[in-house]
Amino acid sequence: MTTPRPLTRREFMKLSAAAAAGIAVLPGCNFDRTTFPEPMKRRFGRTNFDVTTFGLGGQSSIQWTPEDVNPVDIILKSFDLKVNYFDTSNVYGPSQENFGKAFEKLNLIPGRSNYDENLRESIFLTTKSMIRWAKGGYPEMDNVRNSTNADHGEGAVADLKRSLSQMFGDGRGYYPEGSYVDMIMIHNLTSFEEIDVVYKGLEGEFDPNGNFGALIALRDFRDGTNITGLNPDHEKLVRHLGFSGHYSAPAMMEMIQRDQWDLLDGMLVAINVNDRRYLNMQYNVIPVAQEKDIGVVGMKVFSDGAMYGKHAGWSNQPEHVIRTVGDESIPSKPLIEYALTTRGLDTLIIGIGHIDEDPLRCQLVQNFYACQIEEDALSEPERRELEQLGMHAYDGKSNYFQMADEGLTPPRNPRISVDDRIRISWDTSYAGDEPITHYEVLKDGRVVEEIPHKPQVSLERPFECRITEPGDEFQIVAVDAAGRRAESDILAV
């Protein structure tokens, strides 16, 4: 029997380039008898965990499984490649159950004699809930969604327990002692009304007899406390809390800015080469998360398959699963490299439609190798060049899930007050397709102060300028890297 040999770093990177080049490499290399080098990892915010730059997404064939695909094999092969970040959700159909089947094979079920605690501690498992309220009986509110595949009519706490039951228990409510997920995210936040709900009970008075937001209840199951009355057994079922969003960078920014308790340790956000053609994530919410040391996970690198011929709309059946590795007009590797060289991104979740014994035709192997890239590996001009690839799909309009571009906006909520000096304050502008560089404060039409832009991490800490000289009219102007300007209304003393 031939002893497995590890791939060299040179071979490793050559195989990473294979999908983009469309040619075979490493002739004679038998991958069934080859071990792979350690994958690259990045620090995942303040979680004290280093995640692999490739993370396995729980959709694609793990959710909408074609008849000739075994979704469990995809998960098992990810473990073979030493992937350590895994993503699923309560709204992903059978996805959590498929993870549960894989975990059975991997000896990851707590309480059993063969339980591999070291392996469990080596991975970061995230699930998600689209329920905004802690308990059932949701009040009807415009722009607030509460949904789960379970149709259990209960709240986000029930979704957390459902995840544990499906991945570690019997799928009908039972989960063994010692079960936990590393993170649960409030999934797909799109509106400010939803943020009002998830923070209810943390902000304002807390009424244990009424309903309250998901965050205060999930905190109980993170800390083992019972402040809400929903955790009488003082269980610790989750280690970190987070949130996700595809659509509204402004709403996601506010989700972070209202977190006075540092509850949010992770964020899942859409990012791809067409991001700057919309109200983008990379100059708006990602810097805010990075400033607060929140771990950032990227998704939608292929626009949910729209880059490769699928309609620009939500997938919902097996025929929507893309099972090829890129194509000639848009290779997959550059799209992945663009995402992972976006400043602030820690890992990228990718759904896998097809695995294959031939590594050049295996989506998992090729996408995994493409993720072996340092954050600063591409210059800004190189990233701009890659953005042209996005024009091959729907003329660059592939991101049906993202808000339309509004351009640079004026400083928000400008206000003025007078005590011993004139105090002018404002909240951050939203960036267009270039980052914001600074703000100018005008007095009677003349620039008197320049304030550098930085990510605003709290609504309690606005930008501020104090002026000693009197004046009649003041104005704040946002300026971006292209020199474009957006002016606030005039503030009169």
Could you read off the pLDDT of 59-105 as tens digits, one per residue? Answer: 999 999 999 999 999 999 999 999 999 999 999 999 999 999 999 99
CB 12 within 8 A of CB 37: yes
User: Where on the phi/psi map is residue 265: left (φ > 0), alpha (ψ -120 to 50), or beta?
Assistant: alpha
User: Any idea where the domains of the chain sit in the sequence?
Assistant: 5-396, 412-492
3-state secondary structure of 318: helix
Decide if domain 5-396 falls under CATH 3.20.20.100.
yes
Could you read off the pLDDT of 161-171 as tens digits, one per residue? Answer: 999 999 999 99
- Kindly give the parts of the chain with pLDDT less than 70: 1-35, 150-151
164 CB-side CA count, 13 A = 23
pLDDT for 25 equals 39
Pairing state of beta strands 295-299 and 238-245? Answer: unpaired
pLDDT for 20 equals 44
pLDDT for 145 equals 81
Angle at 386 (CA atoms; ends 382, 391), nearest 5 degrees = 150
pLDDT for 5 equals 42
CB 146 within 8 A of CB 130: yes
Residue with tokens 């771990």: 295
CB 466 within 8 A of CB 474: no
CB 410 within 8 A of CB 486: yes
pLDDT for 457 equals 98
Q: At what angle do helices 332-340 and 363-370 cross, to 10 degrees?
A: 40
pLDDT for 11 equals 52
Could you read off the pLDDT of 297-310 as tens digits, one per residue? Answer: 999 999 999 999 89
**CATH superfamily placement of domain 412-492:** Immunoglobulins (2.60.40.10)
Could you read off the pLDDT of 414-426 as tens digits, one per residue? Answer: 999 988 889 999 9
Distance from C-alpha of 163 to C-alpha of 214, rounded to nearest angstrom: 15
pLDDT for 14 equals 53
Residues 173, 177, 180, 184: what is their CA dihedral angle, to the nearest 10 degrees? Answer: 40
CB 230 within 8 A of CB 134: yes
61 CB-side CA count, 13 A = 19
Q: Rounded to two decimals, what is the model's pTM?
A: 0.93
